[in-house]
Amino acid sequence: MKLVLMEDTRYSKDVILNSLKEEGLKNGASYIWDGLIRFFSELQSIISILKQHIYRNLEIESPVPYVDSVKNEIYTGEWIGVYRIPSDFVKEGIEIQIEPKIGVKYFVQMLNEISGLKQMMGYNAINVAWVNTHGYSYVRDYVCYSALLEQLTELMFSEGIPPLTMRQELLLNDFTGHINMAKTQKLLEMGIPLVVAVKKQIELPRLPLIIVTKFHLILQSMLLNLLSEIKSINHYSMKPIEQMIEDRIKYHSFVLLNDIVKPFISSAGSMNLEDREVLKEARKQAGKAKWIRDIVDLYESFMYKRPLLFDLFEEWKQKIPIQPLPTSKVYELWILSLLMKIFAKKIGKKPKMTQRDGGFEFDFEYAKIEFNIASREWSKIFSKVGHVPRPDFMLLNGGRRVVADAKYREIKRLQLEDLERMVAYILDYSEPQDHEEIKGFFITLGFDDKLELLTERKDTVPNVRIYRVNADPRSKEKALLGLRQIYQKFLS
Q: 27-83: per-residue pLDDT in tens?
A: 778 888 999 999 999 999 999 999 999 998 888 999 999 999 999 999 999 999 999
266 vs 217: CA distance, rounded Å: 11
Q: What is the pLDDT of residue 225?
A: 95
Alpha-carbon distance of 414 to 460, in angstroms, equals 25
CATH annotation of 327-491: 3.40.1350
Q: Are strands 79-85 and 66-68 parallel, antiparallel or unpaired?
A: unpaired
Q: Among 315, 347, 325, 181, which residue's Cα sits nearest to residue 239?
A: 325
The whole-number pLDDT of residue 383 equals 64
Q: Find, among 333, 336, 329, 339, the residue nearest to 483 by Cα.
A: 339
> Residue 200: what pLDDT?
61
Judge whether 79 and 60 are in contact, CB under 8 Å.
no
Quote the CA–CA distance of 309 and 301 in Å, as a whole number. Answer: 18
Kindly give, in sequence order, each residue whose CB lies less than 8 Å from that of residue 211, ignoring residues fewer than 6 positions away.
268, 273, 279, 282, 295, 296, 299
Task: Give the integer Cα–Cα distance in Å for 117 and 238.
Answer: 18
HEC states along 246-296? HHHHHHHHHHHCCCCCHHHHHHHHHCCCCCHHHHHHHHHHHCCCHHHHHHH
Q: How far apart are CA 158 and CA 291, in angstroms?
A: 10
Which parts of the chain sit beneath pLDDT 70?
A: 164-177, 198-204, 378-380, 382-386, 431-435, 491-492
The distance from CA 467 to its chain's CA centroid, rounded to whole angstroms, is 30
The number of residues in the chain equals 492
Euclidean distance between CA atoms 396 and 82, whole angstroms: 40
Q: Where along the chain do its domains lie?
A: 2-99, 109-160+209-315, 164-203, 327-491
CB count in 10 Å sphere of residue 259 = 6
90 in Cβ contact with 220 (< 8 Å): no
Phi, psi dihedral angles at 157 (to 5 degrees): -65, -40
Q: Report pLDDT for 323.
A: 92
> What pLDDT is stored for residue 173 in this prediction?
63
Q: Which residues contact 340 (CB under 8 A, 6 or more apart)?
A: 117, 120, 121, 351, 362, 369
Spatial separation of the C-alpha atoms in residues 415 and 474, rounded to whole Å: 23
Predicted pLDDT of residue 184: 72
**pLDDT for residue 164:** 57
Query: Which DSSP helix (H) or strand (E) runs through 13?
Result: helix 13-22
Number of neighbours of residue 255 by Cβ within 10 angstroms = 22
pLDDT at 378: 65
Instruction: Answer for the pair 448, 469: CB distance below 8 angstroms, yes or no.
Output: no
